[in-house]
Amino acid sequence: MDSIRSALQPITRSLPAPIADLGTSIIGDQCYKSLILDINVEDTECIKLAISKGLGIGIIAASSIVKVPQILKLINSKSASGVSFLSYLLETSAYLIGLAYNFRQGFPVSTYGESGMILVQNVVISVLVLNYSGRATAAAVFVAGLAASGVSLFSENILDMTTLGYLQAGAGVLGVASKLPQILAIWQEGGTGQLSAFAVFNYLLGSLTRIFTTLQEVDDKLILYGFVAGFALNAVLALQMIYYWNAPKAAIGGKKEKGPVAASASQTTVTPKAKGPTTRRRG
C-alpha cells in the first residue's frame, strides 16, 4: 500500500485548483486531506461519507430523468390507465413539504436534491393524468394550489419552523400513503397499464440508497423513517411489476376485454327448425 500511496500522492497533491475545490466542497477539508492528499484508506468514516456523497449525487443525476419514461408513455398512449392521480397528488405534496423542510434546515443538497426534480416531473404527470381523464379544469386548480402551497412552505414569515416540522412528520405519512392507491389500482385492474417499470425500479433503488445517505449525513429520524417505509412499499410495487410483467392488458375492473370472435359468439342465437309437414299453395 505504501508503494501505491507514494505513486499516487504526486498526482493527488497537484490536482488543479477547481477540482481540489470541488472535492473539498463535497467531502469537506478533513476528509479531502485524509482520502485524497494522504490516501488514507483506513479512514472508514471518511470513506463512508465519500460513498454517501457519491450515491447522493448519483441519485440527483438519475432523478432528472427518472419520470421521463412515464411522461412519454402517457403522451404516446394518450391514456392514464393504471396510473393513480391520487397517488401522485399525495407523493407530490410529500416532496414539496420535504423539499422546503430540508432547505430551511440547511441540510446538504446531496441528501435531498432530487426532490425538486422529481417534484417538477410529478406535476407534469399529474396534469397529463387529469387531462387524459377528462378533467382539464382540475389540472389547472391542482397547479395553482401547488404554487400557493410552495410559497407558504418556503416563507419564514408565513410558516414557522416548528409548524413545518409537524408538516414534515405528516409528509412521511403522505409519502407512504401515496403508494397505496397505486398498489390498489394495479391490483384492481390486474395489470400495470401505463405505469413505467423504469420509474418503479429506480424508486426502489433510490429509496434504499437514501436510507444509507440519511444515516450517514442527516441526524433526523422523521426523514429516515419516511425513507424506510417508502422502501417497503416501493418493494411491493416492484413485485407487482414483476408479477404482471407478461400479463395481458386488462380493462378497468380487472376483466379481460372480449375479442370480436368471442363477442359474435356470445350474441349468436340458434333458431329451431319448424316441425310438421309443409303445404304447398295452389295457384
**Percentage of residues of the chain with pLDDT beyond 90:** 19
How far from 276 is each of 157, 271, 272, 273, CA to CA, in Å?
96, 16, 13, 10
User: Given this model, what pLDDT does residue 65 score?
Assistant: 84
pLDDT tier at 8 (50, 70, 90 boundaries)? confident
Rounded Cα distance, 75 and 86, in Å: 19
User: Given this model, what pLDDT does residue 282 score?
Assistant: 45
Mean pLDDT, residues 169-175: 81
Rounded Cα distance, 166 and 163, in Å: 5
User: Given this model, what pLDDT does residue 246 score?
Assistant: 67
Mean pLDDT, residues 207-218: 84
Which alpha helices (H) appear in the chain, and where do they start and end?
2-12, 17-31, 44-63, 68-77, 85-105, 114-132, 136-154, 161-177, 179-189, 197-217, 221-243, 260-267
Of the listed ranges 43-57, 150-164, 214-228, 261-275, the least confidently predicted one is 261-275
pLDDT tier at 252 (50, 70, 90 boundaries)? very low
Is residue 168 a contact partner of residue 192, using CB atoms and an 8 Å limit?
A: no
pLDDT tier at 213 (50, 70, 90 boundaries)? confident
Quick check: 12 pLDDT over 80? yes
Rounded Cα distance, 142 and 89, in Å: 9
In sequence order, the 6+-apart residues with CB closer than 8 A to the CB of 271 are none
Question: DSSP 3-state assignment of 157?
Answer: coil
Q: Is the pTM of this model over 0.85?
A: no
Q: What is the pLDDT of residues 15-63, one digit of tens each?
A: 888 888 888 888 888 888 888 888 888 888 899 888 888 888 888 888 8
Residue type, 29: D
User: Given this model, what pLDDT does residue 266 score?
Assistant: 41
pLDDT tier at 247 (50, 70, 90 boundaries)? low
In sequence order, the 6+-apart residues with CB closer than 8 A to the CB of 48 are 216
83-95: string of b/e by CB count within 10 Å (b at 16+)? bbbbbbbbbbbbb
Q: What is the DSSP string of 167-190?
A: HHHHHHHHHHHTHHHHHHHHHHHT
DSSP one-letter code for 282: P
Question: DSSP 3-state assignment of 82?
Answer: coil
Is residue 82 a contact partner of residue 185, using CB atoms and an 8 Å limit?
A: yes
The dihedral built from the CA positions of residue 184, 64, 145 and 153, taken in this order, carries a sign that is: positive
Q: In angstroms, how far is the first alpha carbon of the chain from the final one? A: 119
User: Given this model, what pLDDT does residue 269 score?
Assistant: 41
